[in-house]
Chains A and B, each alone.
Chain A
């Protein structure tokens, strides 16, 4: 066995310079300090993305993307296909956990200030990936064609429709018409299984290549301590030492996922009825709750403007600023970074408190 492995490696090495290719991996190290456990979050998000791709392909074997068949096909997967309920449940749970770990990864980068030079573009690609993850969540949510998803899609596509000048164009593009219909479902299916995965794969490759190129960031405070006491500086080889630990975390993640999927199987709800009132108590997925609650609280008019327009443009502006975060750190101010850390704390507190408020509010 070992002989065969050596033979294959030699074969590859002679043709492609294998050793040269994996050289950077062998020499990649992970800094070891009291905050090192935050480094696991990106890897866990990547792992959950892998779970999504795998279970997503499995769901594709039975799913039918049309208004007449979508709900029935998901019901068929959940009730007739062997372990169909498990595959669908894992896909839904993993999606939710991935949103959570992606957010946690992002905030860890903010608070450990890993976005600093030279890693600005790593931040930008990461933030774009987070938006894509939310896009996956939003487009995938409609696919079972149930009542909650139908109204969530109505509201969610109406939001960009409020943008002046190009808004209506975007709305029609997203919906495949003026209203949410079977045409919307077909489009969302296309976005969910082709457009978004394609863009995400390319961006993910770039994100990982940048992480590989610049190595793993050490928080400034730890860096200071190390320059003061160099004997405290510790590192771990990425391959195989850190990777094996990461794989252990993935294994725990997979266990948690399977347990959640088995104990709390994802509900299907009632089939979407385009000519019915929105049911009382309707709410979006938890990761959109903060935006939902914000839209709910904004009054109908602010000065001469429609309230929702102000809210939507405000959220768009916040998103754009967030994307540009590394470029906003005031370099001339002593401790200028505190401004960004403050913004991070504010964003986190706002999102968490609005989510809780949205959760408990009637």
Chain B
């Protein structure tokens, strides 16, 4: 310890030890007040910065319906990406002509998935994750299924919304 050898520190320590108890109490009190004050002022500097670096939450579209596409633009056994709020969604027309919609954000590390017409499954190119047409994770690293959406066909237009209660 460097302080052991420093004569000034040693002298100060001797002096402090010789001081009456009242003085020591006063010193301790000042240390707590000043130290606490400095800590509190530091916290008041840091807190606004911490809040500043986190952006305000963006508005989510929630259960709103979005127009995902038109019936004629998709052939059977193909798919397209549509905007579902700020996130991508996947609209699939199956080989049998049925429409299915699900989140296109892979549950593994959030890459955007795609429909593979050769295997008729949903595939994530990033880490080779595979989902079936019901959005269930069937191979590769994805830990959870893709969120399925409700599809409503109104004439030519295809509307997609979040499942009620989801």
Enumerate chain A interface residues (CB-CB to B < 8 A). Answer: 151, 154-155, 158-159, 169, 172-173, 176-179, 181, 183, 274-282, 292, 295-296, 298-301, 306-308
Contacts and interface: CB of A to CB of B under 8 A. Distances in A.
A296 B128 contact: yes
5 contacts: A158-B110, A173-B53, A277-B114, A282-B126, A295-B108
Given A178-B86, A295-B141, A278 B55 contact: no
Contacts of A276: 81, 88, 112
A172 B86 contact: no
Interface in B43-61: 53-55, 57-58
Contacts of B58: 177-178
B83 to A, nearest CB: 6
A178 B85 CA distance: 12
Contacts of A172: 54-55
Nearest to A282: B125
A289 B53 CA distance: 30
Contacts of B111: 151, 154-155, 278, 282
B158 to A, nearest CB: 16
B104 A176 contact: no
A155 B88 contact: no
Interface residues of B, number: 29
A307 B109 contact: no
A179 B127 contact: no
B36 interface: no
B62 to A, nearest CB: 14
B83 A275 contact: yes
Interface of B: 53-55, 57-58, 81-83, 86-88, 104, 108-114, 124-128, 137, 140-143
A278 B109 CA distance: 12
A36 B104 CA distance: 54
A159 B124 contact: no
A298 B125 contact: no
B141 A308 contact: yes
Given A281-B125, A282-B126, A158 B143 contact: no
Say what secondary structure dominates the interface of chain B: loop
Nearest to A292: B127
A169 B86 CA distance: 19
B143 A300 contact: yes
Given A275-B83, A300-B137, A306-B143, A177 B55 contact: yes
Given A278-B125, A308-B108, 11 more contacts: A154-B111, A155-B111, A178-B58, A275-B88, A276-B81, A276-B112, A277-B104, A277-B114, A295-B127, A300-B140, A308-B143
Contacts of B126: 151, 155, 278, 282
B55 A301 contact: no
A355 to B, nearest CB: 16
A277 B143 contact: no
A341 to B, nearest CB: 33
B90 to A, nearest CB: 8
Contacts of A301: 143
Contacts of A308: 108-109, 141, 143
Contacts of A279: 125
Contacts of B109: 154-155, 158-159, 295, 308
A307 B55 contact: no
B76 to A, nearest CB: 19
Contacts of B88: 274-276
Select the residue from B55, B57, B141 with max chain A CB neighbours within 10 A: B141
B55 A298 contact: no
A87 B127 CA distance: 33
Contacts of B81: 275-277
B63 to A, nearest CB: 18
B143 A278 contact: no
A307 B137 CA distance: 13
